[in-house]
Chains A and B, each alone.
Chain A
Amino acid sequence: MSYPYRKMNRKPSINYLVILLCIGVLVLLNIVLGSSPISFSEVLNTLKGQGDSVTSNIIFNLRLPEVMMAMMVGVSLSLSGLLMQTFFRNPLAGPSVLGLSSGAGLGVAIVMMTGLPAMLSFGSGLAVQVLASAIGTGVVLALIVSLSRIVKDNTSLLIIGLMVGYFASAVVGSLEVFAERISLQKFVFWGMGSFSSTTWREIQLIFVILMVLVLATLFISKILDVYLLGEDYPTTMGVDIKKWRIIIILLAGLMTGVVTAFAGPVAFLGLAVPHVARMIFKTAKHGVLIPGTLLLGMMIALACLLVSKLPGLDFRLPINAVTSLIGAPVVIFLIFKQRKMRL
């Protein structure tokens, strides 16, 4: 070989391993730490089935579901963000920026505060909440995409996304005035974002849906690579952009919608994590970025969960406050960095 390119194929597997290790540590810490700390030996005993019932109750019904939820939210929002950044060819695209979270919020607000599910005589209302969140996300995404056909310039599109978000929030704000106190309270807590109070049944449901969506995303990594090149190249490279456009939008919308229904509109993860993945793996190839983003999403969500528990035993920071505290500086940093990378 006359030029040194094989050396270039630095194996990303070391990065993957390090991240996996961090995830392991964070999972443990998140099980150990909480409003009633549990020691490592107690955790081990409980996992062996020898712990007392209170501890095992805390671990199996509170801590583990929370950890699972954090990981799933991290995965789905981050991948959704990666899909959107590739789709819009815009580094600042993401579920919370383009108004998707607000769309989900509007859907959930309508369900929670108007008593619609009760009227339609749905049992739990939970399925309705998931559906409403997914539909809300989907509607906003469809709106943004159709506008993106007219407005070619990315910055304008982002501003439109922000405006759509404000609009949805305004409708939610108006609904709040008429809502009953209990449902309003429920909605406000939902809006702060939370990984807790999910049942194993719900987790199983989200897990199955997510597995399908993640596999589908991996399956289209080659298409996503070509998508990066703009509108003209894919057509000449045998990729039907119109067909894949719908699939990418559906994947991004569903991933955001499903977890938002449960965990609330968690900010910044979707925007920031793909960038962290790009910086660590130093590649633009989705075959590497998708697994990287997925793992980093888990890791960062777990870290946020841990930080949210830090203030002490009885208090918890809202997840949204933590993700924004970390995410906002990351985004500003990225904008500075991006200026050096312009073609």
Chain B
Amino acid sequence: MKALLEIQNITLGYGLNEPILLDASAPLKEGRLTALLGVNGIGKSTLIRAMVGMMACRSGKILMDEKELFQLSLADRSQKISLVKTSLPDLGYMTAQDFIGMGRHPYTNWIGRLMKKDQQIIDSVIESMGIENLALRYLFELSDGERQKVIVARALVQDTPVIVMDEPIAFIDPVASLELLDILKKQCADNGKTILFSSHDIGATFMYADDVWLIDNDRTIISGTPNALIENGSVEAVFGKKGFELGQNTVGFKPC
């Protein structure tokens, strides 16, 4: 399968500190839901920041359609890759619908006017995510899970082939997490989106992810399908600790 986006031998770090990622490479395959896994503080968010151009790589490159991502203009990039984060600043009287509509900014005119086509895209995303009931509400009125769906909807409305998400399921309860992952999976399968999301929730992630990027203790990335990574012991090597083993029949929700 074709890699739509690919990181090649990238090294990342802040200032003169030890690198956070060292010579990491991994492909992001088109139309697949890929999970970025690793223990807390290993550098998942840093990698995501680098992938959206918020920090420069010390070395290596990020390729999009075999072209270097950061040689594209900011405007072009905004039509290739969009971002989802967990938190939002205080946006006052911003309705969910206004917020989602902001995803059209790369396409609208100087005053940000939404045209018929923009409105159609917004409507179809809102409907496909089943969040019609949230559209009119202010963001501060929503629960964490509802707000996360709205944040994802904004990225979908931006209509980019690739979406990267920083911890989209970190602060929402187990079933809401599965719901959201289900939405993401459908976006990949039905609409051909390519999505990378970071998480440290192995259970939920492995139920839905097609591929996994695992940041290991050598600060590099092991990529593969979930099953492959479990079978070759990588998952246990990264997350395991003496006295704990990867469970087979642990309690948790699953789709049925």
Contacts and interface: CB of A to CB of B under 8 A. Distances in A.
A282 interface: yes
A285 B108 CA distance: 15
A3 B133 contact: yes
Contact of B53 (A3, A89, A235): A235
B93 A278 contact: yes
Interface string B98-119: 1000110110101110000000
Interface string B137-150: 00110000001000
B88 interface: yes
A219 B112 CA distance: 10
A238 B110 CA distance: 12
B158 A237 contact: yes
B136 A4 contact: yes
B86 to A, nearest CB: 11
Nearest to B79: A238
- A interface bracket (residues with beta carbon within 8 Å of B): 35 or more
B2 to A, nearest CB: 23
Given A89-B89, A221-B111, A238 B136 contact: no
A229 B90 contact: no
A230 interface: yes
Contacts of B52: 232, 235-236
Nearest to B75: A238
A240 B98 contact: no
Contact of A225 (B78, B102, B106): B102
B135 A238 contact: no
Given A3-B132, A3-B133, A228-B89, A283 B83 contact: no
A233 B83 contact: yes
Interface string A1-24: 111110110000000000000000
Contacts of B158: 237
Contact of A283 (B85, B93, B103): B93
B187 interface: no
A343 B49 contact: no
A342 interface: yes
A222 B74 contact: no
Contact of A238 (B78, B95, B126, B132): B78
Contact of B91 (A2, A222, A228, A231): A228
B91 A343 contact: yes
B54 A284 contact: no
A284 B105 contact: no
B102 A232 contact: no
A277 B212 CA distance: 48
A41 to B, nearest CB: 44
Contacts of B53: 235-236
B123 interface: yes
B27 to A, nearest CB: 21
Given A5-B97, A237-B78, A232 B83 contact: yes
B237 interface: no
A115 interface: no
Contacts of B255: none
A236 B76 CA distance: 10
Contacts of A4: 136
Contact of B98 (A236, A285, A342): A285
B85 A232 contact: yes
A91 interface: yes
A8 B136 contact: yes
Interface residues of B, number: 43
Nearest to A230: B89
A221 B49 CA distance: 26
Contacts of A303: none
Contacts of B135: 3, 5, 8
A217 to B, nearest CB: 12
B15 interface: no
Interface in A209-260: 219, 221-222, 225-226, 228-233, 235-240
B12 interface: no
Given A232-B54, A236-B78, A284 B132 contact: no
B75 to A, nearest CB: 4
B82 interface: yes
B92 interface: yes
Nearest to A284: B94
Contacts of B133: 3
Given A1-B123, A235-B54, A238-B78, A229 B88 contact: yes
A8 B97 contact: yes
B81 interface: yes
B68 interface: no
20 contacts: A3-B132, A5-B135, A8-B135, A221-B112, A222-B108, A226-B105, A229-B88, A229-B89, A232-B49, A232-B83, A235-B74, A236-B77, A237-B105, A238-B105, A284-B98, A285-B98, A287-B111, A338-B90, A341-B92, A342-B140
Interface of B: 49, 52-54, 74-75, 77-79, 81-83, 85, 87-95, 97-98, 102-103, 105-106, 108, 110-112, 123, 126-127, 132-133, 135-136, 139-140, 147, 158
Interface of A: 1-5, 7-8, 89, 91, 219, 221-222, 225-226, 228-233, 235-240, 278, 281-285, 287, 338, 341-343
Given A5-B136, A284-B92, A343-B87, 5 more contacts: A8-B135, A226-B105, A230-B88, A233-B83, A284-B93
- In order of increasing CB-CB distance, the 6 nearest A-B pairs are A3-B132, A238-B78, A222-B112, A284-B94, A236-B83, A238-B75
